[in-house]
Amino acid sequence: MRIFWGILGLALVLASCKDRPSETALPESKPEEPLVAELAPRLEYGFDLREFEVVQDTIRRGDSFGELMLANKVDYPKIAQISEKYRDTFDVRKIRVGKPYMILKSKDTAQAAQVFIYQNDRVNYTVVDFRDSAVAYKEKRPVSFREREVAGVIPEGGSLSLVIDQLGVDYQVTLDLSQVYAWTVDFSKLDAGDKFRIIFDEKYIQDSLYAGAGPIKAAYFEHGGKPLYAFAYHNDSLDIMEYYDDQAENLRRTFLSMPIRFGRLSSRYNLKRRIRYYGYKVRPHRGTDYAAPIGTPILATADGVVTESTRRGGNGKYVKIRHNGTYSTQYLHMKAQNVKRGDYVRQGDVIGWIGMTGNTGGPHVCYRFWKNGRQVDPLREELPKAEPLAEARQPEYFDYINPLKEQLDCIPLELHEPAPDSDELLTFNQPEHALSEN
């Protein structure tokens, strides 16, 4: 019996081998094929990189455009031509440490740089072409957009920026949302239970490389139980994109609600304030203080002309802006000013940075507000709104926002608890400014 099973096993093995080609059998003759297929072009920034020796690096401390090019065998006259003739396109003095660049070198024995590509950001880049007469030009990488929806609830002890960060959303969306509602919501005083829903686009290069967040298309913010819708819509009369609510009212106001994007209202306008440092004597405080870390940008709350940009006494470094015949504003205790007397500024422009110059016990900006030459409390003023959307445009506007409003309302809300021992973004707890001489 054992012999029988041995013979059967051998027969099966032989049968399974019938389909295998014999090791000694000659292969059937086939038409000759090329041994190496032609390589596909390797296109980046509009160049076929197969045609060059490619060097990729980042700008390092101490690097200069001229030295980089001389080290890569570019003639000095061409470097000078780029530096002088193309300054508006590519200011060689402003290359920044950490920015990536690519050098395309010739494949001959000289290996001289023929093209220099400077990555301004993830989308924009500058090309300097030395192959003929030196030229420089700007380009953009192709970008695709993907719509994204997010929503959240501010928890007890939480902050808007922390919740949005926990959703895995670009910080730019937090800044954009604060600008959309800059005239209607004080983001330094959010309540637990406040809600938001946002529709925006995310940008991608080659459908895979994230390149940042696009502008907010529609948003819903519920603060203190009050719902506030916002929809991006083109204002034809000003030729700009503005945000309107669900009644076609413009969300923009003549003045921002505060001169920083995020911070803490630390001291209000108070004509009967008493300070221990001064023996509890009445020392009127005619400003509104917002605490924030040193270096936080200070924003012009409305369009206007800078009438003062100087340093004086307890005010420290400050800027004063005349907005029209009725209103003026002043911003005290700056680390440094970003404007000079006579400059025209637009609402939201950075005019300086939070500091501690003058009489102050902590980093903050003291915001002063004049109406008809008299200092008043900006938080108690009924400031004029921007013009609503033209009545003739409103039917078209409502047709446009109705599906967006429905989309917003259907985004599910989730409560996000603060992570234990996490540093809350943009939650500032600076000391009070008992010494502020305002």
* Same domain flag for 104 and 57: yes
In angstroms, the CA 228 to CA 226 distance is 7
In angstroms, the CA 185 to CA 195 distance is 12
Q: Is the pLDDT of residue 104 over 90?
A: yes
The HSE-up count of residue 311 (CA atoms within 13 Å, CB side) is 13
Lowest mean pLDDT among 8-12, 71-75, 154-158, 332-336: 8-12
Long-range contacts for 389-393 (Cβ within 8 Å, ≥24 apart)? 389/233, 389/235, 389/244, 389/248, 389/249, 389/250, 390/236, 390/237, 393/236
Q: Is 91 inside any structural domain?
A: yes
Lowest mean pLDDT among 49-63, 187-201, 228-242, 326-340: 228-242
CB 230 within 8 A of CB 251: yes
User: What pLDDT band is residue 308 in, cutting at 50, 70 and 90?
Assistant: very high
Name the nearest CA neighbour of 138 among 43, 42, 41, 46: 46
CA angle 272, 276, 280 (to 5 degrees): 45
Q: pLDDT at position 117, please?
A: 96
* Same domain flag for 148 and 176: yes
In the listed set 125, 140, 155, which residue is the last one of a domain according to the structure?
Answer: 140
In the listed set 109, 140, 171, which residue is the last one of a domain according to the structure?
Answer: 140
* Same domain flag for 223 and 237: yes
CB 196 within 8 A of CB 180: no
* Same domain flag for 234 and 295: no
Name the E strands within 276-342: 281-282, 287-291, 297-299, 304-312, 316-322, 327-337
Q: Is 380 inside any structural domain?
A: no
| Bigger pLDDT: 277 vs 234 | 234
Q: pLDDT at position 361, please?
A: 80
Structural domain of residue 284, as residue ranges? 264-375
User: What pLDDT band is residue 238 in, cutting at 50, 70 and 90?
Assistant: low
Domain total of the chain? 3
* Same domain flag for 245 and 389: yes
What mean pLDDT comes out for the span 76-80? 93
Q: pLDDT at position 283, please?
A: 65
| Bigger pLDDT: 200 vs 190 | 200
Residues 241-261 have pLDDT tens digits of 889 999 998 888 778 888 998
* Same domain flag for 172 and 188: yes
Q: Is 30 inside any structural domain?
A: no
In the listed set 91, 122, 140, which residue is the last one of a domain according to the structure?
Answer: 140
* Same domain flag for 291 and 219: no
* Same domain flag for 390 and 343: no
Name the nearest CA neighbour of 229 among 408, 385, 392: 408
Lowest mean pLDDT among 10-14, 105-109, 205-209, 389-393: 10-14
CATH number for position 197: 3.10.450.350
pTM over 0.75: no
DSSP state of 393: G
What mean pLDDT comes out for the span 238-243? 81
What mean pLDDT comes out for the span 179-208? 87
Q: Is the pLDDT of residue 32 over 60?
A: no
In angstroms, the CA 55 to CA 69 distance is 12
Q: Which residues are within 8 A (CB) of 233 and not within 5 positions of it... i.e. 6 or more apart?
A: 241, 242, 243, 244, 389, 397, 400, 401
For the chain, the average pLDDT equals 83
* Same domain flag for 406 and 356: no
Q: pLDDT at position 405, please?
A: 96
Q: Is the pLDDT of residue 90 over 90?
A: yes
Q: Is the pLDDT of residue 306 over 70?
A: yes
* Same domain flag for 130 and 147: no
Rounded to the nearest 5°, which phi and psi values hold at 89?
A: -85, -45
User: What pLDDT band is residue 31 in, cutting at 50, 70 and 90?
Assistant: low
Q: Is the pLDDT of residue 298 over 50?
A: yes
Which tokens is 152 given?
């959240």
Token look-up 């059937």 returns: 28
Q: Is 259 inside any structural domain?
A: no
What mean pLDDT comes out for the span 90-108? 94
What share of the chain in percent tops pLDDT 90? 52
CATH number for position 301: 2.70.70.10
* CA distances, 390 to each of 228, 246, 250, 253 (Å): 20, 14, 10, 16
